[in-house]
């Protein structure tokens, strides 16, 4: 997808489609210009209630190409103003409108389109985003993300895949020449984030017979090859992890014929070569049967999504590479299958982690924390500035927070606040959960330093408490993304979250 921005008005820009907007019962400037030239065709849609005052509602209008430089007009509703006098628009309504426009364009025969959402700022309409005022750059970034997301199609394992969108070019029209440079940078950033989100979705959606630990290792190498040396990748195999004493990780991987991999990627943006890195650790259980503690059969196919934490790390690294971000980031992917073979771990087994701490495995379906704990210990060697692990870790987090926000735990409050702010800015929200010592005792074991589960109460919290025992030497946060990483039902598929949160955090940490 090609993104550009120009200081131009709707009458002069040649394009197949002009995307213009209404705020409740009022047309914005570019829509007014078209309406005036075409005898009130757009205002009639509002007057006749053909364009409802609901954010995202839209109508197509076809015009004679000989009369105007555009062939089609897409009129999109921004919804109701939050304040009649001050013309305030909630960001949720704006995002709904951008998503609706992007989806409509991706499903149309249009190859290029020009979007006139910058009219908001020429008309002094305030976009309220979580208590602050959004600027034009944020809007441009969100537009690029929306267009990228709408362009995604899963085709890998379909004999007759859906046709790819015709759309290949988006122009962000600005009425202010001074804003063009900032919007151009925002479009690059948004396009890269959107690309990373789609890559995460693709990895998550692939079937588990394709997306194996070895496949993920190959993906890391391919991403590094395409990065012009900014990104490097290597991986540790079973023997190498055994030498390092990663008994917790290997206790999960040993039941599968697919060898586990610890994948290590390092991205060094310009001017940061000697800086301490931020580290991302992704849970990459490419399929989770539960092991000997076997899961129920219903919806077990969705356990291919148990590697979405790893997928979000891949997507974040891809986004950083594409935008040429000036950051230093190390990514650790703990990739394994959790299978119920004859040599698989059993409830009651005791294993020794890389840290030297022993763990009684009471439930083999609590495997994510076992691969992550050794990866967290491995992260110490990078002397990190911060470490964030991302994992589809617990169903308990879904019970607590549903499908809107991921659970956030941290041993360093300033870091937690930066992650929360990143989630708010990017509309990829997190909610901070307690990490209190009172919960730690639920992990007590009579036969090891700790158990791998803490019982029914506070399951997401005790999982985070478990991980915290391996993250004491640096500032650390844990994102439990079990509720946000994929959708079930008719729209089943990976969401690409929390790539936007992670990239925004890394750019501002």
Q: Residues 212-231: pLDDT tens digits?
A: 999 999 999 999 999 888 99
Strands (E), 226-357: 231-236, 261-268, 278-288, 328-338, 350-352
Q: pLDDT category, 392, cuts 50, 70, 90? A: very high
Percent of all residues in the chain with a pLDDT value above 70, rounded to a whole number: 98
Q: At what angle do helices 308-323 and 180-205 cross, to 10 degrees?
A: 150
The reported pLDDT for the residue numbered 66 is 62
Question: Edge-to-edge, what's the strand order for the sheet holding 358-360?
Answer: 350-352, 358-360, 450-451
When pLDDT is averaged across residues 447-470 and rounded to a whole number, the result is 97
Question: What radius of gyration do the chain's Cα atoms show?
Answer: 24
Which of 195, 229, 254 represents a domain boundary (last residue)? Answer: 195
CA distances, 225 to each of 50, 234, 269, 318, 360 (Å): 51, 12, 15, 12, 41
Nearest to 5 by CA among 121, 174, 134: 174
The Cα–Cα gap between 83 and 88 comes to 5
The reported pLDDT for the residue numbered 67 is 63
Asked if residue 493 belongs to a domain, the reply is no
Which of 188-197, 234-243, 271-280 has the least mean pLDDT?
271-280
Q: pLDDT category, 271, cuts 50, 70, 90? A: low
Neighbours of 24 (CB within 10 A): 17
Asked if residue 134 belongs to a domain, the reply is yes
Q: pLDDT category, 131, cuts 50, 70, 90? A: confident
53 and 150 Cβ atoms separated by less than 8 Å: no
The reported pLDDT for the residue numbered 39 is 87
Asked if residue 316 belongs to a domain, the reply is yes
The reported pLDDT for the residue numbered 228 is 81
Q: Do 216 and 177 share a structural domain?
A: no
Cα pseudo-dihedral 408, 395, 389, 411, rounded to 10? 40
63 pLDDT higher than 90 = no
Nearest to 481 by CA among 469, 491, 495: 495
**How does DSSP classify residue 28?**
-
When pLDDT is averaged across residues 50-57 and rounded to a whole number, the result is 96
CA distances, 295 to each of 284, 325, 424 (Å): 18, 41, 35
59 token code pair: 């109508």
Nearest to 390 by CA among 294, 496, 266: 496
pLDDT digits (tens, 9 = 90+) for 395-420: 999 999 999 999 999 999 999 999 99
Q: Do 169 and 63 share a structural domain?
A: yes
The Cα–Cα gap between 351 and 334 comes to 17
Q: Do 147 and 8 share a structural domain?
A: yes
Q: Do 49 and 84 share a structural domain?
A: yes
Residue of higher predicted confidence among 270 and 102: 102
When pLDDT is averaged across residues 236-244 and rounded to a whole number, the result is 98
Catalytic annotation, pick one of 52, 54, 111, 295: 295
| 3 state SS of 114 | strand
Q: Do 61 and 25 share a structural domain?
A: yes
Q: Are strands 26-27 and 58-62 parallel, antiparallel or unpaired?
A: unpaired
pTM for this one?
Answer: 0.97
pLDDT digits (tens, 9 = 90+) for 325-340: 999 999 999 999 999 9
When pLDDT is averaged across residues 48-66 and rounded to a whole number, the result is 89
26 token code pair: 């009022």
Which of 195, 215, 239 represents a domain boundary (last residue)? Answer: 195
The reported pLDDT for the residue numbered 37 is 86
Which of 130-139, 379-388, 396-405 has the least mean pLDDT?
130-139
The reported pLDDT for the residue numbered 82 is 73
Residues ≥6 apart with Cβ < 8 Å to 352: 245, 247, 248, 358, 359
385 and 276 Cβ atoms separated by less than 8 Å: yes
Asked if residue 495 belongs to a domain, the reply is no
Cα pseudo-dihedral 384, 390, 395, 396, rounded to 10? 40
DSSP β-bridge partners for residue 350: 360
21 and 76 Cβ atoms separated by less than 8 Å: yes
Q: pLDDT category, 65, cuts 50, 70, 90? A: low
Asked if residue 279 belongs to a domain, the reply is yes
77 pLDDT higher than 80 = yes
> What is the extent of the structural domain holding 27?
2-195
Establish whether 369 is a catalytic residue: yes
Q: Do 182 and 214 share a structural domain?
A: no
When pLDDT is averaged across residues 456-480 and rounded to a whole number, the result is 98
The Cα–Cα gap between 248 and 361 comes to 9
390 and 481 Cβ atoms separated by less than 8 Å: yes
Establish whether 189 is a catalytic residue: no
Catalytic annotation, pick one of 369, 418, 429, 497: 369
Looking up residue 231, the CATH number of its domain turns out to be: 3.40.630.10
The Cα–Cα gap between 180 and 183 comes to 5
Q: How many domains does the chain have?
A: 2
């Amino acid at each position: 997808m090609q993104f550009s921005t120009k200081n131009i008005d709707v009458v002069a820009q040649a394009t197949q489609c002009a995307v213009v907007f209404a705020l409740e019962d009022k047309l914005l400037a570019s829509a007014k210009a078209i309406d005036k030239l075409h005898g009130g065709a757009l205002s009639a849609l509002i007057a006749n209630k053909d364009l409802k005052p609901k954010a995202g509602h839209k109508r197509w209008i076809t015009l004679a190409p000989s009369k105007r430089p555009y062939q089609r007009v897409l009129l999109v509703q921004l919804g109701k103003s939050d304040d009649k006098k001050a013309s305030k628009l909630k960001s949720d309504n704006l995002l709904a409108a951008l998503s609706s426009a992007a989806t409509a364009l991706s499903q149309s025969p249009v190859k290029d389109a020009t979007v006139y959402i910058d009219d908001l700022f020429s008309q002094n309409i305030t976009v309220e985003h979580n208590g602050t005022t959004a600027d034009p750059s944020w809007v441009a970034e969100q537009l690029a993300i929306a267009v990228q997301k709408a362009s995604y199609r899963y085709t890998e394992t379909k004999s007759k895949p859906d046709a790819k969108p015709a759309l290949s070019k988006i122009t962000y029209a600005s009425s202010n020449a001074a804003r063009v440079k900032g919007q151009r940078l925002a479009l690059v950033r948004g396009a890269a984030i959107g690309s990373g989100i789609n890559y995460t979705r693709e990895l998550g959606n692939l079937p588990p017979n394709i997306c194996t630990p070895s496949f993920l290792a190959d993906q890391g190498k391919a991403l590094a090859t395409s990065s012009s040396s900014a990104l490097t990748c290597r991986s540790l195999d079973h023997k190498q992890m055994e030498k390092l004493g990663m008994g917790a990780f290997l206790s999960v991987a040993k039941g599968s014929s697919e060898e586990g991999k610890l994948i290590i990627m390092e991205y060094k943006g310009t001017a940061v070569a000697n800086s301490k890195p931020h580290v991302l650790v992704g849970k990459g259980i490419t399929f989770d049967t539960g092991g000997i503690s076997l899961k129920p059969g219903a919806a077990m196919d969705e356990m291919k999504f148990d590697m979405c934490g790893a997928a979000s790390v891949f997507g974040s690294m891809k986004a950083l590479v594409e935008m040429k971000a000036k950051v230093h980031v190390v990514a650790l992917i703990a990739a394994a299958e959790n299978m119920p073979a004859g040599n698989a771990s059993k409830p009651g087994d005791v294993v020794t982690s890389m840290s030297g701490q022993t763990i009684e495995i009471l439930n083999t379906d609590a495997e994510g924390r076992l691969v992550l704990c050794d990866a967290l210990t491995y992260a110490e060697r990078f002397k990190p500035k911060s470490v964030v692990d991302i994992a589809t870790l617990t169903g308990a987090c879904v019970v607590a927070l549903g499908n809107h926000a991921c659970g956030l735990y941290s041993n360093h409050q300033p870091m937690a606040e930066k992650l929360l702010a990143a989630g708010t800015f990017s509309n990829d929200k997190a909610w901070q959960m307690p990490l209190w010592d009172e919960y730690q005792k639920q992990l007590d074991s009579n036969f090891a330093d700790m158990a791998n589960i803490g019982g029914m109460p506070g399951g997401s919290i005790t999982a985070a408490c478990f991980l915290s025992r391996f993250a004491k030497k640096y500032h650390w946060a844990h994102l439990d993304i079990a509720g946000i990483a994929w959708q079930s039902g008719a729209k089943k598929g990976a969401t690409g979250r929390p790539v936007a949160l992670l990239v925004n955090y890394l750019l501002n940490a």
